[in-house]
Amino acid sequence: MTRTALRVVDPHKTYGSVTALDRLSFTVQPGEIVGLLGPNGAGKTTTISMVLGVLQPTTGYVYIGDIDLAKKREEVLARTNFAAVYAALPGNLTVNENLKFFGWLYGIRSPSRRVAELLKEFDLVRLSHTKCGLLSSGEQTRAALAKALLNRPQLLLLDEPTASLDPAAAQLIREKIMTLAQRDGYGILWTSHNMSEVVAMCDRVLFLSQGRALLEGDPRRLPSEHGATTLEDLFIRVARKPLAEHQTVGASLLGAVLLWDFCTRIMQGVSTVFLKDVWSRNLLNLFASPLTISEDITGLVITSIMTSFIGVIVMVILATTVFHLQLFSLGLPLAGFLLVLLVFGITLGIFGSAPVLRFGPASEWLMWPLPALLSPFAAVFYPLSTLPHWMQGIAYALPPSYVFEGMRFLVAGRSFPAAQLAQGALQRGGRGVAGHV
């Protein structure tokens, strides 16, 4: 075997604006079991997929032995294999048929002899003519491991191989894997959420968070080196950092939904009160009375504000008690946000009612989709920077976009440029808050 079973050099993997892996470098030596740890979404499965050649890194290199995976993929993958709970063998083939099929794929000489060896080693002889779809979880795991050893790989990748197994079956699998490393010198990359298992099995671990390696070391010494009692305590501490960031995103999203709902309720309140007069054929009575247009609109607005605030207050109470949203922690800017959305909602309601006056009640269907059509441009659910350029141009003309971008400033702990909110509200040119994100 070569000196290094696996060498990963600064891979960077992105999906649009999302970074899945961020310069994650590590090695796996022959006979070494390296644990890849981290919460869901940390980048473990992406790393394994990249090492298997299923995903290509945006930048960086993967070497198995001394061979660059990108340049000689077929040759490299002939020295590699893997097993994972999410990659079960075809259920309509028997254990024997599956192993022979993959033996041919990997170019195994005398595949029948190698299959017979593995059936015996993993106690699968009595199940050799059973379809894999009928096997228990433990039996499927043993069959997957037998498949993973067909080509006597230099590097073995195991993604949670003992997940969903009972303790006895899991212990049997762990003993088999330990033997592969110690006796046969396999380099093994292992992922697991069972920290006791990791301590017992792994020579070295890497803690991943958001595609980056935060910690690396011996799983038996790493906790004490970082002030934790156990590896599980350390895992929880590492997992909480991205969790806190996700909670910030969640608070921003929930707050945005509430504020946009307030604006929508204002718009619908103005429109609905007006439409009630249309539906009841009361407009002629109103227009024939001494009531002025400004007085009529003022009445619509006041009624809309009262009903909208009642609904929003109920939603804020629920969001505060159930989701612990602290909307009022935004402070004084919240009043500015509400004022801008109030004026915009009133304007939208009047604008939506205009076609009814011009074309009659049949055109009221043009009014109701307006909030849904505008929400992508108003930066309600995501930052303006994620929008295509042509959509950003429209967004900069909408006052709500400045509100929601400003709210993200505050939730993220950044200072909020109040002058830019005013600029956005008055629309005196420029890009306001959106231009600073």
Domains and CATH numbers, the chain: 6-243 (3.40.50.300), 245-436 (no CATH)
- What count of residues does the chain have? 437
Angle at alpha carbon of residue 1, lines to 5 and 117, rounded to 5°: 100
Q: The whole model's pTM is what?
A: 0.55
Edge-to-edge strand list for the sheet holding 155-159: 80-84, 155-159, 187-191, 33-37, 204-209, 212-217
What does the mean pLDDT of the chain come to?
Answer: 81
Which helix H or strand E contains 74, and what residues bound it?
helix 73-77
CB of 421 closer than 8 Å to CB of 406: yes
Give the angle subtended at the CA of 285 by the CAs of 284 and 287, to the nearest 5°.
60
Q: Tell me what pLDDT residue 244 has.
A: 44
**What mean pLDDT comes out for the span 87-102?**
93
Q: What are the tens digits of pLDDT across the range 284-330?
A: 676 677 777 777 778 777 877 777 777 777 777 776 776 666 666 66
Residue-level pLDDT at 98: 94
Give me 150's structure tokens.
């067909």
DSSP secondary structure, 245-289, as one string: HHHHHHHHHHHHHHHHHHHHHHHHHHHHHHHHHHHTT-HHHHHTS
Q: Which residue has the higher pLDDT, 292 or 248?
A: 292
Q: What pLDDT does residue 428 have? A: 39
Question: What pLDDT digit, counting tens, does each position of 206-244 carry?
Answer: 998 878 888 899 999 988 887 788 999 888 877 765 544
The arithmetic mean of pLDDT across residues 415-419, rounded, is 58
